[in-house]
Amino acid sequence: MVKTKAVMTACCMAMLTLSFTVAGPAMCMPSMARDLKLDYAEQGLVFSAPMWPFALSVVVAALADRIGFRGLLLLGSVVQTVGWFLLAEVQSLPQAIWAAVLVGIGGSVVDPLLTPIICAVYPARRARMANFLHGFYCVGFASVALLIVLLHPAVLTWRWAFRVLGVLCVPYGVASAVLALPRQVHQGEVRLRARTLILRPIFWLLAVAMILAAATEMGPANWLPSFVQSLASPADPTAGINLLAGAGLILFGSLMAAGRFMASAMENRIGVRRLLAVAAAACMVCLAAVALPFGTVYRVVCLGIVGFSVACLWPTLLAVAGDRFPQAGASMFSVLSAVGGVGCAAAPVALGCLGNVFGSLAPAMVALALAPALILVASAGLRGRRQSTGVA
C-alpha cells in the first residue's frame, strides 16, 4: 500500500537535490571562474551543461511507464552523487562541462518522475500538490545559498561545497529503495500514447510555454550572484561571493518558495490561466525594470520579485497538462520536462554571450523580459475543456 505522506517526503527530498544543480554553481561561480579563468560565455556553458541531458527524460519516463520508478530513482541518486564529486575535482573548462553533464544526467533521470508520482498519489489535487512539491526546489535553492554564504570562503571552498551537495543526494535514493511507490500514473486502463499526444495543438502550446518559463526562471537563478558581484566589484567580477550577492540569491529562492506554496490559493481565487498571465506579466515588468539606474539593492529586489512571480509557471503548466490529458502517462510529463530543459540550457548561455557582447550582465537580464512577454501571449490560448480520453 502506498503511504502518501512518505512518498511525498521522498519526492520532496529528491526535488531538493534538483535545486543543487542551479544554486550550487550559481553561488560558487565567482570563485570557480577565478580559479579556472572563465569568461561570461564559458560560465554560461557550465551553467547550461547540466541541462543538456534532459532529452533523456523522454526515455526515462517511457521506462517508468513499463518498469516502475524504484530503480530509476536509485540510479539518479547514484549518478548525481558521483557527478558532484567529480565536479569538485575539475581543473579546466572541459572537465567542468563533462562533470556538470553527469550531474545533469542524474537530475534528468529523477526530474520527470517526481511530478507524475505526486499526480498519481493525489489525483484530485494535482495543481496544489505539484506546486507544493516544486516548492521544495526553492527551499533547497535558498538553503544551499545560505549554507555557502555562511561557510564560504573561510570554511567551505567551492570544491568542498560540491562534495557536500553530492552527499546530500544520497538520502532520497535510500528512501526510494524501501518505500512502496505507485505502479502507474495515468487514470484508467488505457494510457494515452505519446505519439498521439504530440498531435494535439494544445500540447505544443504547453511545450512552448514550458521552454519560456524555464528560460525566465534559469536566467536570474544562474546569474544573480555573478550579476550582483559585477555591480559591487566591476573591476573584478570574479573576486568571490560577497554578502549582497548571496543575500540576493537567498531572497530569490525564498520568494520563489513562497510563490509556489501560495500558488494553490491564488489558483483557487483567480483560476489557472489568469494565474499564468499575472505571473508572466510580473516577471516581464521586473526584468525590464533592472535597466533603471537605482542601485544594486533595487536590482536585487527586482530579481527577487521575479523569483516570486516565476515560481508557479513550471509546476502549474505541468498540472494543466495533467488536467488536460489525464490518461497520459509519465511520458507526457517527461516530454514537457525535456522541452523545458531547452529553455534551461539556452538561457544561461544566451545571457553569458550577451554579457560578453555588452561587457555587462544588465542588458542580458533586460533582454530576458521577452520570454515572459511571450508566455503572456501563450496563456491566452490555454482555454477549452479537459480531454479525458484518447479520442481527438
pLDDT tens-digit series, residues 245-259:
788 888 898 898 888
Q: Is the pLDDT of residue 101 over 80?
A: yes
- Position 2 pLDDT exceeds 60: no
Question: Does the pLDDT at position 59 exceed 90?
Answer: no
pTM listed for this prediction: 0.78
Q: Rounded to whole angstroms, how far apart are CA atoms 66 and 223? A: 39
| pLDDT on residue 92 | 92
CB 56 within 8 A of CB 108: yes
CA distance 103 to 24: 11
Residues 103 and 84: beta-carbon distance below 8 Å: yes
List own/partner pairs for 359-362 with CB under 8 A and 24 or more apart.
Answer: 360/230, 361/40, 361/223, 361/226, 361/227, 361/230, 362/227, 362/231, 362/290, 362/291, 362/299
* CB neighbour list of residue 329: distance below 8 Å, 6 or more residues apart: 61, 64, 65, 116, 184, 185, 186, 191, 192
Residues pairing with 122 in the sheet: none
Region 216-232 average pLDDT? 85
**End-to-end CA gap in the chain:** 35
Residues 6+ apart with CB under 8 A from 238: 30, 31, 33, 34, 38, 229
Q: What is the model's pLDDT at position 384?
A: 47
Q: State the CB neighbour count (10 A cutoff) for residue 14.
A: 28
Higher-confidence residue of 226 and 77: namely: 77
SS3 93: helix
Q: Which domains does the chain have, with CATH numbers?
A: 4-379 (1.20.1250.20)
Q: Looking at residue 253, what is its pLDDT?
A: 86
How far is Cα 355 from Cα 131, in angstroms, rounded to an integer?
32
| Average confidence (pLDDT) over 94-106 | 93
Average pLDDT estimate for 2-14: 80
- Strand pairing partners for 192? 328
**DSSP, res 328:** B
- Tally helices (H) and strands (E) across the chain: 17, 0
Cβ–Cβ < 8 Å for 263, 131: yes
Which three three-digit cell numbers place residue 108? 534528468
- Compute the average pLDDT of residues 130-153: 80
Mean pLDDT of the chain: 81
Q: Which residue has the higher pLDDT, 113 or 238?
A: 113
Q: Pick from 65-69, 179-183, 196-200, 368-372 the range whose average pLDDT is largest.
A: 368-372
Residue 295's region, left for phi above 0, alpha for psi from -120 to 50, else beta, is left
Is it the case that residue 349 has pLDDT exceeding 80? yes
Among residues 66, 68, 77, which one has the least CA distance to residue 110? Answer: 77
Average pLDDT over residues 85-110: 92
Helix 158-167 vs helix 4-36: crossing angle, to nearest 10: 160
